[in-house]
Amino acid sequence: MTYCVAIKLNSGLVFASDSRTNAGMDQVSSYSKMNAFASGEDRAFVLLCSGNLATTQGVINHIRLALYDEDDKNSFKNFKHLFDVAEYIGLLSRSVQGRDRGGPQQETVNLDASFILGGQIGNEEPEIYLIYPEGNYISVSPNKPYLQIGEIKYGKPILDRIIEPDTSLEDAARCAIVSLDSTMHSNLSVGPPIELLLYGKDHFKIDRYIKLDIESPFYQSVTQGWGKNLQKAFTRLPRFDWEY
Amino acid sequence: MTYCVAIKLNSGLVFASDSRTNAGMDQVSSYSKMNAFASGEDRAFVLLCSGNLATTQGVINHIRLALYDEDDKNSFKNFKHLFDVAEYIGLLSRSVQGRDRGGPQQETVNLDASFILGGQIGNEEPEIYLIYPEGNYISVSPNKPYLQIGEIKYGKPILDRIIEPDTSLEDAARCAIVSLDSTMHSNLSVGPPIELLLYGKDHFKIDRYIKLDIESPFYQSVTQGWGKNLQKAFTRLPRFDWEY
């Protein structure tokens, strides 16, 4: 499993992902699920991946090939809108899945993959898209300005309570860490290190990228601080009438 | 969908459940999923239900029939151990599901039901059991002393952070309200009113039972208080190094 989240704010975009990959309980590994393609003065792209690792790696490889080939109409240099990129990745994902289907394992292996694409092209607003295994995609809702893929439920309540369009990039990044931390506590298939990326609107470059291992002092201070603050918050809840 | 949780503490048991039942989006109704059977001086039972409403009502009806018939070996008056009751309910559930299977709808209707049984008999410790649709059952883990059925993921992180064996019944009940509230925020198929039941060890009666509708002042003060306290807790998280 996987857990990735992308948040769209007035001031830019925040991306976070875990790194655990597993095929069964005894084949557990660590792979980055975050890919940044900052490919020009007027454009920047980040892609988060979830699902079958061979499918997502296949898609990333095709994107990289097209990136370096300026004549390729699918080079990210040549797209006019971010949703064009979402559409291209959706088609790529279907084509990679289609190539691998029909083998002898077809009934037992799930080749599905989901992606979150975020970024900005030219004068367009920064945007995030969730690309489904079917290749179709959605943009984010203005009321709940975040998208998730993978094991999404455990980490959702904290996003719902904290994230607003005017939340700062840093606060959203802290919220993403807490959301990932809660998920890792509850589901073994989501694991460290956590990758975190902040993109400031109109910057057309990655502003901040950090990779947090579970032993890193910052990660420790956030998760322990959160545990303590939460318990304090809890003790301040109102009493039942029979407790007075 | 449904969300029910039962918590085992040193001082007794806490039960909480939502009340929403739906068959599709246009058949939404409100049914209690909490049943208390305090059937004698040395025993008390609470049963939480999730799954197919006809199955759970069938099981409850059979239990009530047996309850009033003292000669029935399955009257709760005659069981020696709480796990005997769990086993009986598991068998009942399978038999009700089996009775309803094989009809023309068999491929499309899910008749599964899950239960949480909690209570105490005589000198035994209070205990909680999760009874699966297959009729088999598990007791609670000492480390994570709670069991959930239904839409369990959204409300799990707060239980993991707060519940310890020595948590008080009232604190556990507040935690259950927050856990249900977080779930109701995230999933439309879980809805009010919330039922809450507290059982003190060796009391052999229901100590406290309350039903909280969403407009009730206490529920409002908990959910609003929690939202505010959580945001305050969040602002106290450590800064990134570039924020200083």
Tens of pLDDT, residues B19-75: 988 777 777 788 889 999 876 789 999 999 999 999 999 999 999 888 777 777 777
Look at residues A232, A207, A144 and name the one whose alpha carbon lies nearest to residue B231.
Answer: A232
Under an 8 A CB cutoff, do B238 and A222 touch? Answer: yes
Under an 8 A CB cutoff, do B170 and A243 touch? Answer: yes
pLDDT (average), residues A65-93: 86
Kindly report the nearest CA distance between residue B67 and chain A, in angstroms: 32
Under an 8 A CB cutoff, do A186 and B221 touch? Answer: no
**Which CATH number is A110's domain given?**
3.60.20.10
- Give the chain A residue whose CA is nearest to the CA of B226: A237
Please state the pTM of the whole predicted model. Answer: 0.91
Give the pLDDT score at A105: 67
Per-residue tokens: B244: 């200083």
Residue A38 has pLDDT above 80, yes or no: no
Question: Please, are residues A158 and A182 in contact by the beta-carbon 8 Å criterion?
Answer: yes
B211 interfaces chain A, CB cutoff of 8 Å: no
Contacts of residue B110, Cβ cutoff 8 Å, sequence gap at least 6 = B51, B52
Cβ contacts of B236 on chain A, cutoff 8 Å: 225, 229
B243 inside domain: no
Per-residue tokens: B159: 């239980």
B124 inside domain: yes
pLDDT (average), residues A167-177: 96
Could you give the C-alpha distances from B30 to A79, B17, B33, B111, in angstroms and in order? 51, 12, 9, 19
Look at residues A20, A17, A39 and name the one whose alpha carbon lies nearest to residue A29.
Answer: A20
B242 inside domain: no
Higher local confidence (pLDDT), B116 or B191: B116
Residue A188 has pLDDT above 70, yes or no: yes
Which member of B154, B218, B239 has the closest CB to residue A156? B154
Collapsing DSSP to helix, strand or coil, A201 comes out as coil
Torsion sign, CA atoms A237, A241, A244, B6: negative
Whole-number average pLDDT of chain A = 91
Look at residues B228, B155, B185, B12 and name the one whose alpha carbon lies nearest to residue A234.
Answer: B228
DSSP per-residue string spanning B111-173: --EEEEEEEEETTSPPEEEEE-TTS-EEE--SSS-EEEEES-STTHHHHHHH--TT--HHHHH
Cβ contacts of B183 on chain A, cutoff 8 Å: 157
Under an 8 A CB cutoff, do B237 and A161 touch? Answer: no
| Interface probe, candidates B143, B144, B151, B153, chain A, greatest A C-beta count within 10 A | B153
Under an 8 A CB cutoff, do B227 and A171 touch? Answer: no
A219 interfaces chain B, CB cutoff of 8 Å: no
B240 interfaces chain A, CB cutoff of 8 Å: yes
Higher local confidence (pLDDT), B78 or B51: B51
Q: How far apart are CA A238 and CA A235, in angstroms?
A: 8
Give the pLDDT score at A39: 67
Cβ contacts of A156 on chain B, cutoff 8 Å: 154, 186
DSSP per-residue string spanning B191-203: -SPEEEEEEETT-
Give the pLDDT score at B39: 67
Question: Please, are residues B193 and B177 in contact by the beta-carbon 8 Å criterion?
Answer: no
| Interface probe, candidates A11, A230, A232, chain B, greatest B C-beta count within 10 A | A230
pLDDT (average), residues A209-231: 93
Per-residue tokens: B35: 């049943």
Under an 8 A CB cutoff, do A170 and B222 touch? Answer: no
Give the pLDDT score at B188: 84
Under an 8 A CB cutoff, do A186 and B157 touch? Answer: yes
Full residue range of the structural domain in which residue B44 is found: 3-237
Torsion sign, CA atoms B9, B11, B12, B16: negative
Under an 8 A CB cutoff, do A182 and B157 touch? Answer: yes
What is the total residue count of chain A?
244
pLDDT digits (tens, 9 = 90+) for A83-106: 999 999 999 999 999 888 877 766
pLDDT (average), residues B15-19: 95
Single-letter code of the amino acid located at B172: A
Residue B6, beta-bridge partner list: B15, B147
**How deeply is A155 buried, as exposed, middle or buried, from its count of CB atoms within 10 A (0-12, 13-18, 19+)?**
buried
Cβ contacts of B185 on chain A, cutoff 8 Å: 157, 160
Collapsing DSSP to helix, strand or coil, B50 comes out as strand
Cβ contacts of B155 on chain A, cutoff 8 Å: 157
Domain count across chain A: 1
Give the pLDDT score at B14: 98
Under an 8 A CB cutoff, do B231 and A171 touch? Answer: no
Ranges of H-type helices in chain A: 53-68, 82-100, 156-162, 169-186, 217-235
Residue B29, beta-bridge partner list: B21
Kindly report the nearest CA distance between residue B233 and chain A, in angstroms: 5
Residue B105 has pLDDT above 70, yes or no: no
B230 interfaces chain A, CB cutoff of 8 Å: yes
Give the pLDDT score at A106: 65
**How deeply is A151 buried, as exposed, middle or buried, from its count of CB atoms within 10 A (0-12, 13-18, 19+)?**
buried
- Give the chain B residue whose CA is nearest to the CA of A231: B162
What percent of chain B stands above pLDDT 90?
Answer: 73
| Interface probe, candidates A11, A144, A156, chain B, greatest B C-beta count within 10 A | A156
Contacts of residue B34, Cβ cutoff 8 Å, sequence gap at least 6 = B4, B15, B17, B46, B47, B48, B195, B197
